[in-house]
Amino acid sequence: MRIDKFLKISRLIKRRTVANEACEKGRVLINGKIAKPSSEVKKGDILSITMGERILKAEVIDAESTHVPKEDAPLMYRQFDENTNA
Question: Long-range pairs for 8-12 at CB < 8 Å and ≥24 separation?
Answer: 9/65, 9/66, 9/67, 9/68, 9/73, 9/76, 10/68, 10/73, 10/74, 10/76, 10/77, 11/70, 11/73, 11/74, 12/47, 12/49, 12/56, 12/58, 12/77
> Tens of pLDDT along the chain (86 residues)?
999 999 999 999 999 999 999 999 999 999 999 999 999 999 999 999 999 899 999 999 999 988 899 999 999 999 986 554 44
Note the pTM of the prediction, 2 decimals.
0.88
Q: Which domains does the chain have, with CATH numbers?
A: 3-84 (3.10.290.10)
